[in-house]
Amino acid sequence: MNSRFFIIPVFLIGLLFLGLVPDSLGHGLGSETMPPVMIGNTEATLEVNSFTNYVDIDGGEVGIKQITINLFESFIDMNSNAVEPINNVTFQVELIKGDTILINETFQRDDGVLIMNLTPSNNEDVRVLERETVASFLGLASEQYNFEGEIFENGGLYEFKITVITINSYDNLLMDPVNYELGISIEETTRYNINDVNYGIQSLGIITYFDQIIDFEYNDQTKEIKFSFPFEWNQKTIDQTTVIHGEVLVPKTFGDLLVSKYIATLNGLELPESMVNIDDFSADDRLVHVVVSQNELQEIFLTSQFNEDLILMTIKPESALPLSGVTENGQFKIKLWWDGELKSGQTSILHYDVLDTFLRDKPIAVPYELKLFHNEKEIQNKTGISTGSKMQSDSFEFFIPTDISGILVVKFENLDGSKLANVEFPIIIDRKNPSSTSYQIPNWVKNNAGWWADGQIPDSAFVQGIQFLIKDGIIIVPVSESTAQNESNIPEWIKTNAGWWADGQIDDKTFAKGIEFLIKIGLIVV
């Protein structure tokens, strides 16, 4: 007996038989409930859930992926959604990532619940650790099986082949074992440091659920974020893919990207507005969801020709203004904009709307405080009551002192008298042009490159310069890629390029992009 289903879950998935999932379990949920099947005289349902638990181990944050496999009798009381466990279940479980079989084990479970903890480590091969009895994220106290390996650092698609060999008694070997094949997607988060000429070092994040990011690019002029990951463009893959889900983490310190609306594309085709959603409810980052349905994938597949098996996503602001943000308590949204550029020594006017998120962004009249800060020092303030009108926005006219430049923080506080109704926006006074300032590399890095090309200093000195460029956001690579050092991987011909750069034969941008590419393909490891 065979049952097959493949899933890429959307970003909000409820557990069918448990109802609501606690907020503390919000990271990396993926779930699949298989269709009921008859096993002997028992109608059985198999459910597989995943959850990524982030814990501190040895001073660093580690994401332990918990997989729960549960075989139970199908719903016997539709009013209560009650379930009855199936006892003495023997599972044969094969876990596959890519083309590699990670786990192939047999488990006997008295309660029909199998819990597997997948812990990242430095081990190239997956190994089994001790068993322990603790409560899972489902609230089930059951013996757990711990596995660790380097591969578990990565999220993406994990394939399962599960065979039910016995039920109700370990001696009850099924004449016709039940076979399941399914896929569970687990989040994969990658951070990239970029150096913005106005906002400084900013850490942009990409979360995918399908596969690892293979390329990332940020355009400091258009503010476009571009990333790609593998995807087989064929009908079989389309049929097995419920959605493609990508998320962009935007630091709330990066004002240029805190816009009210984005445009997203997939392989050059603009996606409908409904597929792009903004989540401002976390403290440090805005989360921009791009969720592409199977129907949209099908349409793209039928109408487009692709030279490569990959998905290329782009996200950029629809317009520079207005900015938008949600208060800490989630009750109010502020839209903020102004006319022209903000310059020191001039009078400017901020325009803003106060909206009620619970009333679908309806303008609302509430008291508020508005404060302006520069270098954490308050320079202007205003108190008032918002208009509550769709026809008339609020405004604040103020003079920007001549000695103020760079980041100005606009804070809205105590909306409707609530201490948690606060939101802030970093904006720029005397904005700098990225085109004239990007890729300006310090002279000591260029000097090091020239001396290294001439054989006057060792490889380690050149690597030191490259590490500086990564740290300073001039070269953009995943943050995790810059943790190990290996000078032996530097090809000799790179010295020629370094010499040309030091002599002014190629510009800073060309050199930085070239080194960035060599790091990404693994020719340089820093």
User: What residue ranges define each of the domains in the chain, with the CATH number in brackets?
Assistant: 2-186 (2.60.40), 188-317 (no CATH), 323-434 (2.60.40.1930), 439-520 (no CATH)
From 229-233, 286-290, 394-398, 484-488, the region with the lowest mean pLDDT: 484-488
pLDDT at residue 139, rounded to an integer: 46
Question: What SS3 state is found at 135?
Answer: strand
Q: Cis (ω within 30 of 0) for the bond into 230?
A: no
Looking at the DSSP assignment, which residues form a beta bridge with residue 335? Answer: 324, 353
Rounded Cα–Cα distance for residues 388 and 364 (Å): 4
Residues 17-26 pLDDT 10s:
223 222 222 2
Region 209-213: mean pLDDT is 79
pLDDT at residue 417, rounded to an integer: 96
pLDDT at residue 82, rounded to an integer: 64
Rounded Cα–Cα distance for residues 360 and 439 (Å): 43
Region 172-184: mean pLDDT is 91
Q: Given a cut of 80, is residue 80 above it in pLDDT?
A: no
The DSSP bridge pattern shows strands 173-186 and 2-5 to be parallel
| Residue of 91 and 10 predicted with greater confidence | 91
Range list of β-strands (E), 154-270: 156-166, 173-186, 188-196, 200-208, 215-219, 224-230, 243-251, 262-266, 269-270
Region 422-446: mean pLDDT is 82
| Residue of 56 and 74 predicted with greater confidence | 74
Rounded Cα–Cα distance for residues 366 and 382 (Å): 14
Structure confidence at residue 50 as a pLDDT band (50, 70, 90): confident
| Residue of 438 and 193 predicted with greater confidence | 193
Chain position carrying tokens 């609501």: 20
Region 434-443: mean pLDDT is 66
Question: What SS3 state is found at 304?
Answer: coil
| Residue of 148 and 143 predicted with greater confidence | 148
pLDDT at residue 147, rounded to an integer: 92
Residues 304-356 pLDDT 10s:
877 788 999 999 999 999 999 999 999 999 999 999 999 999 999 999 999 99
- Amino acid occupying residue 321: L
| Residue of 53 and 69 predicted with greater confidence | 69
Question: What SS3 state is found at 200?
Answer: strand
| Residue of 55 and 299 predicted with greater confidence | 299
Q: Given a cut of 70, is residue 271 above it in pLDDT?
A: yes
pLDDT at residue 367, rounded to an integer: 98
Average pLDDT of every residue of the chain = 83
From 71-80, 328-337, 411-420, the region with the lowest mean pLDDT: 71-80
Q: Given a cut of 90, is residue 394 above it in pLDDT?
A: yes
| Residue of 135 and 416 predicted with greater confidence | 416
- C-alpha pair distances (Å), 170 with each of 110, 111, 112, 269: 9, 12, 12, 54
CA angle 147, 159, 17 (to 5 degrees): 85
Angular region, 326: left φ>0, alpha ψ -120 to 50, beta rest? beta
Q: Given a cut of 70, is residue 246 above it in pLDDT?
A: yes
pLDDT at residue 489, rounded to an integer: 56
